[in-house]
Copies of this chain bind each other. A is one copy, B any other.
Amino acid sequence: MKARVVVTLKDGILDPQGKAIEGALKSLGIDGIDSVRQGKIFEMELATGDRTHAEGLLRGACEKLLANQVIENFQVELL
């Protein structure tokens, strides 16, 4: 089973990388993008076919390793 986990900064947490991209897009002449926030995505191949088990596994992985829950949110998508 395939899954993806998206980790993004919480609202209100400063994202200097996103700000740098906003500036770079403007200086390249690409107008119309008001704000950019950068996050991480993890594409995974799971051994299990059971959706409940897979979701529990991925939530555990996020809590223990992939996301810093003080400043980041995570979202699990089973494909």
Contact = CB atoms under 8 A, between A and B. Distances in A.
Interface of A: 6, 8, 18, 21, 24-25, 28, 30-48, 53-54, 57-58, 60-61, 64-66
Task: Tell me the number of copies of this protein.
Answer: 2
Given A41-B39, A41-B41, A32 B46 contact: yes
B47 A37 contact: no
A43 B37 contact: yes
B45 A35 contact: yes
A36 B42 contact: yes
Contacts of A57: 30, 32-33
Nearest to A34: B45
Q: Which of A28, A34, A41, A48 has the most CB of B within 10 A?
A: A41
